[in-house]
């Protein structure tokens, strides 16, 4: 669809009544697309860089459209003046070339290379300093969310010292620390001096993904044991005392200690713990170092592999312990990017078990108030409706992969009003590896063809076995 850039375009004109937005019109020969970067040459000879937001046309007939203005290109072509806001009555319109588009990045600090964009395949970069916002990552299953997420996280680990924790339900990121000598893929890997911890469920391994029962807030401990503070007054009360009795000891001691107490409620609580088989969960630390203790040192990246637990409550327990601890220590203001892949597992509006509710409320709280404490969320999911609305509404960055459902796209358009609607509407046609980035971490909305990963994916798609 895009016009060759070298043909000077006499077929389209633009005008702006406010110097911020422009209207454009032209004949059938001048074909732009939503998202095209354009240079508008005003009658005073100054060149203005803008982006087409919207276009309508009839087959073979004239087209009309509108777009936004980013700034005026300096005389030497090396800068972009974003302060001059001047209306103009008429300007010629042409596609911006890669070096002019590059001006969008002028004056921005460290950037993360993620792929290419625009008709000239310019290098697409994210603004590293804008990960101090919450980010929403969305696209239908198989659209490439996890792959693209990996590309971005690798760049963050390469170019920033922002620590990252990844809640990884499908073991997709367990190779993040894979060293070139240790993988046969021929990939570059990440520098060996980066501290990358991969914590996986294991009953015996000393570096397993574990948390401590007594570190959990009382409400979460009650939720694990299906106890209600009023409906189950006596047992709940024993649970409160358990801290004094058990401290940080091995969970295997919990039941004997309770039985030692000899009260009816302690006996009931012991039976409950046994019946639910909670003690058998692989998630309890015993003397091992817990995920919260490891995160306290803020490794460059910590992967929490939530997939391998036997009980579906165990991933929720990990999330609760980690998020609760981060929140409790928020005044330390130690920045952390909290990445949650398949985030509907932890903050869907529908989860109703007390543990689900507790985890979701913690995430809602971090979404609402975590930013100023350096707790920044990056949430990935398939549909906007699968994440609680008061969490999504706090997100300033959007990465959108293919999404075919018009209902979902409409919702995205409502929540992320800053994204040109015509660019969103193209999402159903995105190929694998294409993503729309918009919001504060890009200088302008851009459709990116994602670059390659540096480390091998963990859980990529399985192929159907064929017969020879």
Ligand X SMILES: Nc1ncnc2c1ncn2[C@@H]1O[C@H](COP(=O)(O)OP(=O)(O)O)[C@@H](O)[C@H]1O
Which is closer to ligand X, CB of 142 or CB of 312?
A: 142
Q: Applying CB under 6 A, which of residues 222, 433, 443, 456 lies at the interface with ligand X?
A: 433
Spatial distance between the Cα atoms of 270 and 229, rounded to a whole number of angstroms: 17
Residue 462 is a binding residue for ligand X (CB under 6 A)? no
CB 46 within 8 A of CB 72: yes
Least Å distance, CB 460 to ligand X, is 4
Q: Is 450 in the site for ligand X (CB under 6 A)?
A: yes
| Nearest residue (CB) to Mg ion, 146 versus 155 | 146
Count the residues of the shown chain that bind ligand X, applying the rule CB under 6 A.
Answer: 14
Evaluate whether 95 touches 2 at the Cβ level (below 8 Å): yes
Q: State the minimum distance, in angstroms, from the CB of residue 150 to ligand X.
A: 8
Contact flag: residue 175 with ligand X (CB under 6 A): no
C-beta separation of 3 from 30 below 8 A: yes
Nearer of residues 9 and 146 to Mg ion, judged by Cβ: 146
For residue 72, the partner it binds in ligand X, Mg ion, none, with Cβ less than 5 to 8 A by kind, is none
Site for ligand X in 5-34 (CB under 6 A): none
Helix (H) or strand (E) holding 254: helix 254-261
When CB distances are held under 5 to 8 angstroms depending on the partner's kind, the choice from ligand X, Mg ion, none that residue 144 binds is: ligand X
DSSP category for residue 195: -
Judged by beta carbon distances under 5 to 8 A according to partner kind, the member of ligand X, Mg ion, none in contact with residue 37 is: none
Which phi-psi region, left, alpha or beta, contains residue 277 (left: φ > 0; alpha: ψ -120 to 50)? left
CA 410, CA 421: separation in Å to the nearest integer? 9
Min dist. Cβ of residue 143 to ligand X (A): 4
**Which of 307, 335 has the CB closer to Mg ion?**
307
Whole-Å CA distances, 95 to 1, 44, 196, 434? 12, 19, 43, 21
DSSP states along 391-408 = HHTTEEEEEE-----HHH
**457 is in the binding site of which of ligand X, Mg ion, none (Cβ under 5 to 8 A by kind)?**
ligand X
168 binds ligand X (CB under 6 A): no
Q: How far is the CB of 58 from Mg ion (least distance, A)?
A: 41
User: CA dist 56 to 10, 34, 126, 281, 415, Å?
Assistant: 19, 10, 30, 59, 24
Three-state secondary structure call for residue 57: strand
Binding at 50: pick from ligand X, Mg ion, none (beta carbon under 5-8 Å per type): none
Of 394, 344, 345, 388, which Cα lies nearest the Cα of 369?
394
Closer residue to Mg ion in complex, CB, 35/433: 433
CB of 391 to ligand X, least distance (A): 19
Residue 461 site contact among Mg ion, ligand X, none (CB < 5 to 8 Å, cut-off depends on kind): ligand X
Residue 285's binding partner among Mg ion, ligand X, none (Cβ under 5 to 8 angstroms by kind) is none
Q: Which is nearer to Mg ion, 139 or 439 (CB)?
A: 139
Site for ligand X contains 432 (CB under 6 A): yes
Q: Which of residues 135-154 bind ligand X (CB under 6 A)?
A: 139, 141-147
* Paired strand residues for 73: 47, 80
Q: Cβ of residue 194: shortest distance to ligand X, in angstroms?
A: 22
Is 457 among the residues that bind ligand X (CB under 6 A)? yes
d(CA 210, CA 201): 7
Provide long-range contacts, Cβ within 8 A and 24+ apart, for 239-242. 239/269, 242/214, 242/269
User: What are the residues binding Mg ion (CB under 5 A)?
Assistant: 145-146
Number of Cβ atoms within 10 Å of the Cβ of 268: 15
Assign 354 to helix, strand or coil: helix
Least distance to Mg ion, CB of residue 307, Å: 12
- Number of Cβ atoms within 10 Å of the Cβ of 345: 20
> What is the number of the residue whose Cβ is closest to Mg ion?
146
Of 190-209, which residues contact ligand X (CB under 6 A)? none
Binding site for ligand X (CB under 6 A): 139, 141-147, 432-433, 450, 457, 460-461
């Amino acid at each position: 669809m895009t016009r060759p850039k070298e043909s000077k375009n006499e077929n389209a004109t633009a005008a702006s009544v406010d110097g911020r937005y422009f209207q454009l019109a032209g004949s059938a020969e001048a074909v732009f697309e939503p998202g095209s970067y354009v240079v508008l040459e005003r009658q005073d000879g100054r060149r203005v860089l803008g982006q087409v937001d919207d276009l309508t046309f009839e087959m073979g007939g004239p087209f009309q459209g509108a777009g936004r203005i980013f700034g005026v290109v300096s005389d030497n072509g090396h800068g972009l003046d974003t302060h001059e806001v001047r209306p103009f009555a008429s300007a010629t319109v042409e596609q911006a070339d890669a070096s002019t588009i590059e001006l969008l990045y002028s004056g921005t600090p460290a950037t993360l290379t993620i792929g290419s964009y625009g008709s000239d395949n310019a290098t697409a970069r994210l603004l590293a300093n804008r990960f101090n916002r919450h980010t929403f990552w969305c696209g239908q299953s198989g659209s490439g969310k996890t792959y693209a997420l990996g590309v971005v996280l690798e760049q963050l680990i390469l170019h920033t010292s922002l620590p990252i924790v990844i809640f990884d339900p499908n073991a997709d990121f367990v190779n993040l620390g894979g060293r070139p000598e240790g993988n046969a893929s021929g990939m570059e890997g990440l520098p060996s001096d980066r501290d990358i911890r991969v914590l996986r469920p294991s009953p015996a391994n000393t570096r397993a993904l574990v948390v401590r029962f007594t570190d959990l807030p009382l409400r979460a401990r009650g939720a694990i044991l299906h106890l209600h503070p009023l409906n189950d007054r006596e047992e709940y009360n024993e649970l409160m005392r358990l801290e004094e009795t058990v401290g940080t000891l091995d969970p295997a001691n919990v039941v004997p200690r309770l039985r030692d107490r000899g009260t009816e409620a302690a006996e009931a609580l012991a039976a409950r713990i046994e019946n639910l088989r909670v003690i058998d969960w692989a998630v309890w630390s015993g003397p091992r170092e817990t995920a919260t203790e490891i995160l306290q040192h803020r490794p460059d990246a910590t992967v929490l592999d939530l997939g391998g637990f036997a009980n579906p409550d165990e991933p929720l327990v990990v999330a609760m312990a980690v998020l609760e601890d981060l929140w409790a220590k928020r005044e330390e203001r130690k920045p952390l990017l909290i990445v949650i892949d398949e985030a509907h597992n932890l903050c869907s509006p529908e989860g109703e078990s007390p543990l689900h509710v507790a985890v979701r409320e913690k995430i809602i709280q971090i979404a609402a108030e975590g930013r100023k404490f350096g707790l920044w969320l990056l949430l990935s999911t398939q549909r906007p409706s699968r994440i609680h609305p008061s969490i999504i509404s706090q997100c300033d960055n959007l990465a959108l992969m293919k999404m075919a459902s018009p209902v979902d796209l409409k919702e995205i358009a409502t929540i992320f009003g800053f994204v040109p609607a015509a660019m969103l509407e193209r999402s159903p046609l995105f190929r694998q590896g294409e993503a729309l980035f918009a919001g504060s971490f890009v200088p302008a909305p851009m459709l990116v063809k994602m670059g390659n990963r540096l480390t091998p994916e963990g859980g990529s798609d399985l192929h159907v076995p064929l017969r020879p």
